Structure 1
Amino acid sequence: MLLDFLTTLDTTPIVLSLKLAVITTVLLLIITTPLAWWLTGSSRRTKSIATAVATLPLVLPPSVLGFYLLLLLGTDGPLGQLSQLLGFTSLAFTFQGLVIASIIYSFPFALQPIQNAFESMGRKPIEAAATLGASPWDRFFTVALPIARPGILTAAVLSFAHTIGEFGVILMIGGNIPGETKVLSIAIYDHVESIEYDQAHALSLLMIVFSFVVLFLLYFLNSKSPLATARTPAHHD
């Protein structure tokens, strides 16, 4: 019976969730990798301030973060007005707005594993490369990144999984627009509200299987390399 439900389900929210997770993960890795490298070499005070700001989404309720993102991206918000000046619509209740919200909300899940990997590496490999005449760019791309690869992979897995499971922030900033902002978690909520428990059960089962696979891969990767020391932050959607 469950297979029948799975075959008749609308796959649009699933595809939209995967698209959002892929885009968010790629952009997060591009942003957080150089930031984590910079933080590794920063002073304790600078590192503490920057890390505290970057990890705020871990402790802020999704409704609070979503509310301020709505003000920021809405018609009267600074980013919303800038978007309109460039000839686009306001970013609230659009897929582009979901991407921005997801990047901010999943930021710690990408930053922490990469920063931990760089810090676990120590300075000796970089200093050895410097004595051989490697430039700062060479040291970063040919020494630091390959050594920190397990941490970067862990960051990618965590960011992807966290984006798939987002709910509170997504609901606040994106609403429930089919084909635009109605991702998997919103679809489950929608089915429950409509007392369509069979459909909600089928989608929830997919989420459970997906979460198990992600956690298995994460712990498997961590067991293979001491540098893949990702701290899995609490999820409070």
Structure 2
Amino acid sequence: MMPISLSPQDTMALWVTFKLAVISTTILLVLCAPAAWWLAHTRWRGKVVVEALVTLPLVLPPTVLGFYLLLLLGPRGWVGGTLESMGFNHLAFSFTGLVIGSMIYSLPFVMQPLTNAFQATGTRVLEVAATLRASPLDRFFTIVAPLARRGFLTAAVLSFAHTLGEFGVIIMVGGNIPGQTQVASIAIYDHVEAMDYQSAHALALILVILSFSLLLAVYGLNRKFKVVGVGS
């Protein structure tokens, strides 16, 4: 096996990747929790449209999603153009643009586990808590969140691991700027293109080990939660 050694640029690419995964996953969990709760309990007939939109990134080619995000966030786009008219920089080829693209691309991996977890909690226990005058926030944080912890854990790990391997959306929205928007997947591609397989192997192996470890942890913890739930 080839020895694992990382150049400073590869180390920076890993750092950008981890930072992107942490930030996008954290924001997604905060924003998706109320949306998933609504989606799990609403009886609105248009719910199917929302579900289709949330799931769309799963079937849409990443380059297509990245292309339209580039148009939206670029200097001539609605978001990027508005920002520039206000004296700010547009978001294309920036780390902020990466976060936005990553969040949209990973949206199904957070929404679906949370929605399923909220549906499984039911409403009976919340109705009992309401009769005891517990506020909606108290009910969510003391009842819903603990009951849905498996869903939160699964959503967090899937989103984080999915972000580690993003390529198409990232290259379209952020480009390949070392230290700013170059992530590990793009660095691997650059190494393969330059026939530097040893450097590509080092980065790829780190991502494989990390992704496998994350999935192993979530399966193990979910099994532990299930056993505890049955035993209690």
1:182-237: CA deviation from partner (whole Å, max 9, x where unpaired) = 0000000010111111100111111111121011012112322359xxxxxxxxxx
Map of 1:155 onto structure 2: 155
CA distance in 1, matches of 2:226, 2:174: 39
State the identity as a percent: 56
CA distance in 2, matches of 1:74, 1:9: 26
Name which of structure 1's ranges 131-140 and 183-192 shifts more when overlaid on structure 2: 131-140
Instruction: Write out aligned runs for 1:78-227 (5 A).
Output: 78-226=78-226
Q: Which amino acid aligns with 1:48?
A: V
Instruction: Write out aligned runs for 1:24-63 (5 A).
Output: 24-43=24-43, 45-63=45-63
Q: Aligned in 2, Cα 1:224/1:46: closer, same or farther, shift over 3 Å?
A: farther
Name which of structure 1's ranges 131-140 and 17-26 shifts more when overlaid on structure 2: 131-140
CA distance in 2, matches of 1:83, 1:184: 29
CA RMSD of aligned residues (A): 1.8
Q: Which amino acid aligns with 2:110?
A: A
Equivalent pair of 1:20/1:99 in contact (CA under 8 Å): yes
TM-score when normalising by structure 1: 0.90
CA distance in 1, matches of 2:205, 2:6: 10
Secondary structure of the equivalent of 1:2?
Answer: coil
TM-score when normalising by structure 2: 0.92
Name which of structure 1's ranges 195-204 and 46-55 shifts more when overlaid on structure 2: 46-55
Q: Which amino acid aligns with 2:152?
A: I
Map of 2:3 onto structure 1: 3
Map of 2:230 onto structure 1: none
Secondary structure of the equivalent of 1:182?
Answer: coil
